[in-house]
Amino acid sequence: MSEKIFVSPGKYVQGKNVVDKTGEYVKAFGNKALVIADELVWKIAADRVVQSLEKSGLTAIKAEFKGEASKNEISRIAEQGRGQQVDMVIGVGGGKTLDTAKAVNELLSGACVIIPTTASTDAPTSALSVIYSDEGAFETYSFFPKNPDLILVDTKVIAGAPPLFLASGIADAMATWIECRAVIEARAKTMAGGLPTLAAEAIAKKCEETLFDYGLQAYESVKRKVVTPALEAVIEANTLLSGLGFESGGLAGAHAIHNGFTVLEGDIHHLTHGQKVAFGTLVQLALEQRSLAEIERYIDFYLKLDLPVTLEDIKLGDTPREDLYRVAEAATKEGETAHNLPFRVTAEDVLDAILAADQYSLAYKRKMGLID
């Protein structure tokens, strides 16, 4: 494969109160929408989406998402929309709701509209969904022929979400350049199916630069639930820049480690996608033999965002070595993105890097007087 491929959504709209303009933006797609949201998000934003649709003379069919982006849940919701002649599927909520909406739309062949209520992942813009089992274990990536037709990002809604979600999105987005850089060096395939373009490389770099420049200000902004220029910049980095950057720039070690963690039982499952990716990013940096100064730059940034940097932080402090080896095995199984690194990676290598990343972070915490 020598072709370069870049993919993107049809349109991206970001601003305060844009959920109240949903009807205006989607009426070109048809007359009837299947709106998917979980119980909490109906109160936060999805009811406003339905009101906007009805104000524009469109019909809305409500579907409640039950919490897991699994094949069974996708089939259940698709069945609800089938026979209703829906023209579009509108997903409102977090990453798993949005991944489910994309997969449902693929079955119903309508226009796909994505409305994230947090800036916690880069899922909204991509032409893929992460599919889990009904119990929450990672199963596979599901790829679609095209990206969503429209992304609507309401910065006021996102400013009202818990600060943890923004920090998690920053962590997910921080992996974008680190993984893209590895894929470029390895001349590996991206999620878009080809080599990274110059555009994807530039976007991934700008993503990280924006996060280092404005991430802490944005984090403080959401603590006060205010929309600031710093928050606007970071929402765009978390959602658009990271979304375009990971899909057309490629995934590597950080997300493979995240997927590996899903084989374990216990409290780690209560952590967000981004919290697990934060630690996965440190593991990739350790695998790549990056300098201590470079690794500590990320550790310091993550600590300021209250993100996990040690095994104890991700609820694996007393996990037996053999269980961590299972994580490493899952992260390096055939087809995993760890093999996009520009060198051969074994489960033993990953286990060593997990323990090294933990030790580097413990040493940094001691140096800064954060632990004894």
Measure the CA–CA gap between 127 and 191, rounded to whole angstroms.
9
Q: Which of 38, 122, 149, 255 is catalytic?
A: 255
Is 270 noted as a catalytic residue in this protein? Answer: no
| Residue 121 burial class via C-beta count within 10 angstroms: exposed 0-12, middle 13-18, buried 19 and up | buried
Is 339 noted as a catalytic residue in this protein? Answer: no
Q: Which of 87, 99, 154, 273 is catalytic?
A: 273
**CB distance 93 to 117 below 8 Å:** yes
Token pair belonging to 96: 């798993």
- Between strands 111-116 and 88-93, the pairing is parallel
Is 273 noted as a catalytic residue in this protein? Answer: yes
Q: Which of 149, 172, 349, 358 is catalytic?
A: 172
Measure the CA–CA gap between 301 and 360, rounded to whole angstroms.
14
Measure the CA–CA gap between 143 and 126, rounded to whole angstroms.
9
Token pair belonging to 74: 């996708």
**Buried/exposed code over 128-140 (b: 16+ C-beta within 10 A; e: otherwise):** bbbbbeeeeebee
Q: Which of 38, 87, 154, 258 is catalytic?
A: 258
Measure the CA–CA gap between 85 and 137, rounded to whole angstroms.
33
Q: How far is CA 263 from CA 131, 136, 137, 258, 345, in A?
A: 14, 9, 6, 10, 19
Q: Is the dihedral of CA 142, 342, 263, 93 positive or negative?
A: negative
What is the secondary structure of 119-181 as a DSSP string? Answer: -S-S-TT-SEEEEE-TTS-EEEEEE-SS--SEEEEEHHHHHTS-HHHHHHHHHHHHHHHHHHH
Q: Beta-carbon neighbour count of residue 193 at 10 Å? A: 14
Measure the CA–CA gap between 250 and 206, rounded to whole angstroms.
15
Active site residues: 172, 255, 258, 273
